[in-house]
Amino acid sequence: MTVARGRQFFQNPGPTNIPDRILRAMDRPALDFMGGEFRAIAEECYAGLRQVFKTDGAIIAYAGNGHGAWEAALVNVFSPGDKVLVPETGYFSLNWGKHAKELGLEVETLPGDWRKGVDPAAVEARLREDKAHTIKAVMQVHNETATGVANRIKEIRQAIDASKHPALYMVDTISSLGSIDFRMDEWQIDIAVGGSQKGLMLPPGMAFTAASAKALKASESAKLPRVYWDWRKLVTSNRQTSFNGTAPVQLFYGLQEAVRMLAEEGLDQVFARHAKLAEATRRAVRAWRGNDGPELYSSDPRTHSNSVTTVLMQEGHDAEKPRGIALDRFNVSLGGGLDKLDKRVFRIGHMGDLNEPMLLGALAAIEMSLLLAGVPHGKGGVAAAMEYLASEGAS
Ligand code: PLP
């Protein structure tokens, strides 16, 4: 058995690195979750989350994961047979749609190019056609974690407005929240879905929905069965006032620390740091593209993701080989390909608690793994990332 020394470089696109501050904050005894001390912690968490979602509206937290938040968003506003439109972006958009179908909704997928992200004009055109307003909602993934493509949420809002369609606008922010700018109120999002384990730097186990007044109104008459996720039991006057069963107390300790950390750094700085690390990653991949090597999966510069980069292998090369070497030989953990991208891509997560040397270490391990896997590629990916990061620091 080999013994690994030093920390694993964890570059998965979720869960992500948990900062020591958050680990220490959670390393505390339990607390009466019905008592005043817990209530004060929870209030600080909700206030912090409102800053992160950029909303004054209701935020509902649950013990659960992203799939739970997906379901919470659906069962609270729809009735059996309601029709929803899912712009196709990749694995996660299709799976949210599948989840809706299994709950008894009629799901229409708006076909899309996985490498480019959603065309707002296509959303507008489809909604304009729907003169009878049978489509009740647009279910949009902000950052498609499978492809490394971040959709243009504000422009899609404008497209919905231009079509004069009343559909609810639902956005999955699971791999964008706290990493890429998202503005719930300004962009008039009706429901935003989030999870703890990505930009919020927490362990998996907490799920969130943020709901507009229009969404809360829709929840009054929705008829899909709902028990655990039922907003009516959890929310009073726009605020979550109760929890179903035992609250995940230690996750709230961690969340309190996370929202403090995000506020200390400043959200704009957080987004700028993600943008810088993402651009450095892309420059490394562009250098590897030399010699007919791997390339960026995202093909439209307007929609490159700042939280995850998906790297497409050239024909005849299995992405699992360099990914396996990175893990086994260098203790660097990367994401694999999902759905039709299985073995075709590997994914470099760069969201949450990350800085330049951590990223450069991971990129160096990937460059060595490409070499050891016998994958032809251009040299100098790490050097290109270093050059960019050094010049950005100076500016
Ligand atoms: N949506 C997106 C965009 C995701 O990236 C993920 C998970 O990676 C999910 C939904 C599902 O979240 P979970 O794995 O916490 O259920």
Q: Which tokens go with 145?
A: 């974690």
Question: Is-contact 117 89, C-beta < 8 A?
Answer: yes
DSSP 130-183: -TT--EEEEEEESEETTTTEE--HHHHHHHHHHTT---EEEEE-TTTTTTS---
Selection from 268, 274, 303, 297 nearest residue 155 by Cα: 303
- For residue 311, give the 3-state DSSP assignment: strand
The DSSP element (H or E) to which 203 belongs, if any, is none
CA distance to 49, 111, 143, 315, per residue, from 89 (Å): 26, 8, 9, 22
Which residue spans within 230-344 are E strands per DSSP?
A: 235-236, 239-240, 295-296, 308-312, 332-336
CB of residue 205 inside a 6 A radius of ligand 1: no
Q: How far, in Å, from the CA of 331 to the mean position of ligand 1?
A: 24
CB of residue 305 inside a 6 A radius of ligand 1: no
What pLDDT tens digit does each residue of the chain (395 aa) get?
677 889 999 999 999 999 999 999 999 999 999 999 999 999 999 999 999 999 999 999 999 999 999 999 999 999 999 999 999 999 999 999 999 999 999 999 999 999 999 999 999 999 999 999 999 999 999 999 999 999 999 999 999 999 999 999 999 999 999 999 999 999 999 999 999 999 999 999 999 999 999 999 999 999 999 999 999 999 999 999 999 899 999 999 999 999 999 999 999 999 999 999 999 999 999 999 999 999 999 999 999 999 999 999 999 999 999 999 999 999 999 999 999 999 999 999 999 999 999 999 999 999 999 999 999 999 999 999 999 999 986 65
pLDDT for 261-304, tens place per residue? 999 999 999 999 999 999 999 999 999 999 999 999 999 999 99
Query: For residue 333, what pLDDT is reported?
Result: 98
In terms of phi and psi (left: phi > 0; alpha: psi -120 to 50; beta: otherwise), the region of 6 is left
Calculate ∠ Cα 250-239-85, nearest 5°: 95
Q: How far, in Å, from the CA of 50 to the mean position of ligand 1?
A: 21
CB of residue 148 inside a 6 A radius of ligand 1: no
Q: Which atom of ligand 1 is nearest to the CA of 141?
A: 3
Q: Going by DSSP bridges, is the β-strand pair 58-63/83-87 parallel, antiparallel, or unpaired? A: unpaired
- For residue 191, give the 3-state DSSP assignment: strand
pTM, two decimals, is 0.98
